[in-house]
Amino acid sequence: MRAITFDIESISDSMVRGHIDVNEQELTVVAIHDSETGAYTSFFKEDLPRLWPILERADMLIGFNSDTFDIPLLNRYYPGDLTHIRSLDLLSEVAKVLGRRIRLQSIAEATLGRGKKGDGLKAGEWWKEGKRDKVAEYCIEDVRLTRELYDYALKHGILKYKDLRDKRDIKIDTSHWNGSSADAPAMTHALGL
């Protein structure tokens, strides 16, 4: 199974009721881990035509908050429909168990012993300062954390998070994660691959 773990960074000056409005965001960079090659790669907006064939050959997309943010935003640039690719959103998996959302930072620190190297707001500042490579590196690190959390959950059946001062386990049902993609919708192959 070829899995693409991914994250995107974006910029915008708009917020709606304290939340980022996906429709007001402009994509700056996409970072991926390709399970077939083991490589971490980043793509700026002008490089997206090189990303599409990779995504179209994926059996599954893996992200964190990807179903409600990354995929809808990336879909605005994609010539097909990315929702036709099977996806796994680690944040959704956690929310199913806990009934609430937990930040990537909290899960990564508790599970892996290290956290993010910044945040989306800081990445937006770097972008505006012309530090494109720094934004790409930050995005790749988020992909690395997401991929390592995915692998950890597969191996141990849990993720961890910080709840005030205590670390708590989140029992994750991973039985469907590496299953057949036969249940997934067919790909659009909008690029004629």
The ranges assigned to domains in the chain are 3-175
State the Cα angle at 102 between 100 and 106, rounded to 5°: 155
Mean pLDDT of 82-103: 95
Which percentage of the chain shows pLDDT scores above 90? Answer: 73
Mean pLDDT of 155-168: 91
**Per CATH, domain 3-175 is 3.30.70.3270:** no
How confident is the model at residue 25, as a pLDDT? 86
pLDDT score of 137 more than 50: yes
Residues in Cβ contact with 57 at an 8 Å cutoff, skipping those fewer than 6 apart: 2, 193
pLDDT score of 79 more than 80: yes
Mean pLDDT of 80-102: 95
Residues in Cβ contact with 134 at an 8 Å cutoff, skipping those fewer than 6 apart: 126
